Structure 1
Amino acid sequence: MIIPARKIRVPGPVLVPWLVSLLLFSLMVYGGVRTPDGEVVFRVGESLAMNGTFAVEKDLEAWPDFGLPRGCDNRRYSGFAPAQSVLLAPFIRVASCLNQTRWYEYRRIPISFAADGFSFRSYILKQRPSDMAPHALRFLVSFFTPLVSSLVVVLQFLIIRRLTGSPLAAFITALLLGLATPLWHYSGTMFAEPLAMVFVLLSFYLISPRKDLNTFPVSGKAVRFLGSGLLLGLAFTTHITAILMTPFFLVIAISPWARSKTGFWENRWICARVAAGFTAGTGIMALLYGIYNYMRFGNPFELGRQTAEGVAYGVFTTPWEGLAGLLASPGKGVFWFCPILIAAVFWWPYLHKRYRYLSFVIIAMVLFRLLFIACRSDWHGGFCLGPRYFLMVLPFLLIPIGCRLADFFAGDRPPGFWRPVAAGAFLFACTVQQLYFCLGEPISFYYMLRMVNLQQGISIIANNQIYFQWSASPLVGLFDGRRGPFLLQSVPLGQWELLALCAMALALVTGLLTFYLIRTKRKRYT
């Protein structure tokens, strides 16, 4: 007797991946702000919460003139997009109220690297700063990013379930995005990519096709596509590189009618209305962003990156170094830091078979992003883990894995044994690698490496040489630095011992899950 595939169920289809990812993201969080980028975003949010203005009172003490150029009124404004600072403001307000109780006085709080001019020095020397209030404030607010990142996992689940019709495939793919990609590490930083991913995935969800359905109901389409455009606009007001996705999302939005049997010409007015709704949404956000820039710098196209005194921001250049760095360098190579993409490439035909047009659009979107970023002198994204600017397209690159898993669960042949075990072992290895990145501290690793070399008169950031040297790569030397998660600081084990213990726990869970999947499918043929 064959049991229909729809009988396979995952309890709490949305709640389970959200809780699992939120728990593990919070477990691995550093508990502070580690980068000057994050510090700028935090200070703008603090200014909004306390003073009701985007202007920041003072420059970063440890990084003078970084990210805070002077505007038309001679006050300092952020060179980064404002959406994350706006959302951080209420969190900062609540955290400030909690700080008035001085709860942190006798507790061990992680040191934020740029809270004042001596913070990173205190971190290096393992000294407790005299004033812990700024660090306690950043500690409380740092849990904003794990919460946001867990929403990325939930949205990936919803998208894969819609595309494949398989809740189980969606469940596994969503957890792989959260635990087998650098998203796990970035959930513990104040970088804007996780929040931008939330808006991007929400926008895509509104225009993505359903399983076995190549069109949408006519009713309500105006709101659907206007909303998708607005959400994508929120994404590039969070991180400006999200704007690179605009033309590709527009193609996805109109494709059900452009590719219908009646043809594009017969549906040209529907396509025009869809395009107008989507473009209106992105246009509204672009207009608001332009007004925001004009009020700060007197130019709607000035983002604040060309007026920073003494800071050389990225400029356009030839793409050869960037392409080599993004694809193969030991410091930023995407396949080194996210090897699960190898499985995605190998299983790409499963997506191509289901959604041929979506497959082509995603390939074009990824290649366009790769080439654009490679043409920038700041292609590396600075001192961070791997190719940070590629994080936003990872959910789309994992869609083939969801399609493959859906075919596996719905197949009409009994499964083998070794192929699922081999696939499970590879995905498990990818998760262990991301666990390695989370247990270490990649950002301070880079800063300490730079300091050691500067003492010898060597500038390893010159010509981006640091990203092309294996000796300077977090892939091999990360555990020579500090431990990252604040919750695990007091665990009396070395880094490798702790990694082995966590890996064994992951192996047990992965093994049980693989066994359950194989056994469940075999029951269909008994």
Structure 2
Amino acid sequence: MLREYKLIPVLLCFVFFLLFYGLTSRADLQVSDEVSAFASGIFLESRGNLVIDQLQWLEDTSNISLGETGRDGHLYSKYFPGNILSASIIYKLTKTENDQPYIWNVPPNLNAGMDGIALAASNTGARLALRANAIFGALAMTALFLLSNRYFTLKTSLATVLLVGICSDWWYQSRGFLSEVGAGAFLIASLYFAAGKKPYASGFSLGLSLLFRPTNILALPVWGKAVIDKGRKAIWSGFGILAGLAVLGFFNWIRFGSMTHFGYGNENFTPNLFLGLLGILFSPGRSLFIYSPILVLAIPGAWSLYKREKRLALLAAWMVLSYVVMIAAWHNWDGGWTWGSRLLTPIVPILGFLTAPIIETIWNRKGDMLVIILLALLGLGVQLLALAKDPVETLVNFVVYGGINYNQTIFTFNNAWVSLQARSLQTWQFCDLDAYTLRQWFGNCP
């Protein structure tokens, strides 16, 4: 029997995760995708365009791809509009009169690499814009709570969002500025509305998710379910999806003169699907289940849900499996120099929902509860490792300066990224904490 949700738990869920992700937000931009997207958002608000020529030095002096030269000869980010527009809007609403420059035009040291990127040293508009994913992360957990509470008890729904929101890679990703969190937030929202037979809201949510990751078009069957449930007239709800595609096309045309050109150049899919599947599911350095052990429960959970809600279970399974295959086929399936299972982030809330049927059964079964507690503690430990110190800095130190082959960080246990991160904490100091606000509040840190 479906259960009605109440407003207070919903609001508490959103506010809790907003504060949790916001206060633990990462200290700095860490990878090139974040840098180019963030710069685009700030410049869009402050200068009225998406040009990031000020970062050309970074592309020229390092092996980093920020984007491509557009039809007008200027450098543009290859990233999608979701996070760029979000940063621009938040910055517009929160900037102060004397805000500092956020991105240096000329670095003090051309060998500095990513150290040449600077943010304001206080909670100015740029710092708040950098926390956009805290909002999307909280939205996703709220949608997950609502969806779970339609089919399971309040106790189970709360346990599910806490386990996924704190003990999985979703926490780390919500602390950063990559687009996968926004994509995942609106994807789980689309599924929630589809489950409630609301095709217009489902289509609109799916359209928004495309602004963060166009690959979310794989979720069309989710919206299709809502249309079938409501009848043929609901087909007009597809305008929300078409609007998302139109914004994507217009965004591409502004930058590169083509509605279908995203700025990824020769980056493409690879025929070595098996290696990709092995890597994202089972490798010591990139496995989804290393960074989010609790999601193992989604495997038996999918079967349990299928016995109760066949169509919903099949839709969730389709989204997960199609996304896994697509990412495994991508040439850069490991996600580059980014911690965790980054490219699978959009389906983490879906997998979280699939864990709920198993969580529902454990309340009076102590043995099963101990297993879940163990998985949760393992996942929490991984998240705390990433919070303790910038993991990208760790990877640079061991690979660039320490002589460890990058592939070893993916395929070996001894030099897997999690192992390297644990090793790096031998000389840990509080100011290494990779959470800007906590460092400012509790330590005399830069």
**TM-score bucket of the superposed structures, by smaller chain:** 0.7 to 0.9
For 2:203, the equivalent position in structure 1 comes to 229
What corresponds to 2:14 in structure 1?
A: 18
Size of the aligned set, in residue pairs, is: 430
Equivalent residue, structure 2, for 1:501: none
Give 1:186-205 correspondences, 5 Å limit: 186-205=173-192
Whether the 8 Å CA contact 1:80–1:303 is kept in 2: the answer is yes
Conserved 8 A contact 2:301-2:354: yes
Alignment match of 1:35 (pick from 31, 35, 55): 31
Q: Would you say the 8 A contact 1:115–1:135 is kept in 2?
A: no
Structure 2 counterpart of 1:249, one-letter code: V
Shift in alpha-carbon separation, 1:94–1:15, aligned structure 2, 3 A: closer
**Residues 94-493 of structure 1 correspond to what in structure 2 (within 5 A)?**
94-97=93-96, 99-100=98-99, 117=107, 133=120, 138-164=126-152, 166-209=153-196, 216=197, 224-246=198-220, 248-254=221-227, 256=229, 270=231, 272-274=232-234, 276-306=235-265, 313-406=267-360, 415-453=364-402, 460-461=405-406, 464=407, 466-479=409-422, 480=424, 482-489=432-439
Q: Which amino acid aligns with 2:216?
A: A
Give 2:245's aligned amino acid. Answer: A
For the 8 Å contact 1:61–1:114, the answer to whether it is kept is: no
What's the CA shift for 1:25?
Answer: 1.9
Question: Using a 3 Å threshold, how does the CA distance of structure 1 residues 363 and 149 change in structure 2: closer, same or farther?
Answer: same
Q: How far does residue 208 in structure 1 lie from its aligned partner after superposition?
A: 1.1
The 3 A distance-change label for structure 1 pair 159 and 416 is closer
Contact 1:385 1:442 in 2 (8 A): yes
C-alpha change, 1:421 and 1:478, in structure 2 (3 Å) is same
Q: Distance in 2 between matches of 1:131 and 1:488?
A: 19
Task: Return closer, same or farther for 1:324/1:385 CA change in 2, 3 Å cut-off.
Answer: same
Q: Tell me the distance in 1 between the aligned counterparts of 2:10 and 2:269.
A: 42
Counterparts of 2:51 and 2:351, CA distance in 1: 38
Q: Give the secondary structure class of the aligned counterpart of 2:65.
A: coil
Q: Counterpart of 2:96 in 1: which secondary structure?
A: helix
1:89 aligns with 2:91: no
| Aligned partners of 2:211 and 2:248 also within 8 Å | yes
Deviation at 1:325, TM superposition (A): 0.7
RMSD across aligned positions (CA)? 3.4
- For residue 300 of structure 1, what is the amino acid of its counterpart? M
Structure 1 partner of 2:429: none
1:324–1:118 CA distance, 2 compared to 1 (3 A): farther
| Runs of at least 5 residues in structure 1 that lack an aligned partner in the other structure | 1-5, 105-111, 210-215, 217-223, 258-269, 307-311, 410-414, 493-526
Tell whether the 8 Å contact from 1:99 to 1:136 is kept in structure 2 after alignment.
no
SS of 1:77's equivalent?
A: strand
Structure 2 unaligned segments of length 5 or more: list them.
426-431
Residue 68 of structure 1 deviates from its aligned partner by: 2.7
Deviations 1:324-371 (A, max 9, x none): 111111111111111112222233333122211222222222222111
The whole-number CA distance in structure 2 between the counterparts of 1:444 and 1:113 is 20
Cα offsets for 1:133-163 (capped at 9, x unmatched): 4887543432332233122211111111123
Partner of 1:263: none
Cα 1:427/1:10, change in 2 over 3 Å: farther
Letter in 2 for 1:441: D
Whichever residue aligns with residue 452 of structure 1, its letter is: Y
Amino acid at match of 1:146: A
TM-score by length of 1: 0.73
* More off after superposition, 52-61 vs 67-76: 52-61
Look up the match of 1:108: none
Paired residues of 1:31 and 1:143 also in contact (CA < 8 A): no
Larger radius of gyration: 1
Following the alignment from structure 1 to structure 2, what is the Cα–Cα distance between the partners of residues 387 and 115?
Answer: 32
Confirm or deny: 8 A CA contact 1:351 1:399 kept in the other structure. Answer: no
Change (3 A) 1:339 1:407: closer
In the alignment, the residues of structure 2 paired with residue 69 and residue 130 of structure 1 have an alpha-carbon distance, to the nearest angstrom, of 19
Contact 1:43 1:56 (C-alpha < 8 Å) held by counterparts: yes
Q: Is the 8 A contact 2:301 2:356 kept in 1?
A: no
Letter in 2 for 1:485: A
Pairing 1:45–2:45 present? no
CA contact (8 A) 1:440 1:483 kept: yes
Shift of 1:113: 10
**What SS does the aligned partner of 1:169 have?**
helix
Assess if the C-alpha contact under 8 Å between 2:200 and 2:237 holds in 1. yes
Output the CA distance in 1 between the equivalents of 2:149 and 2:325: 31
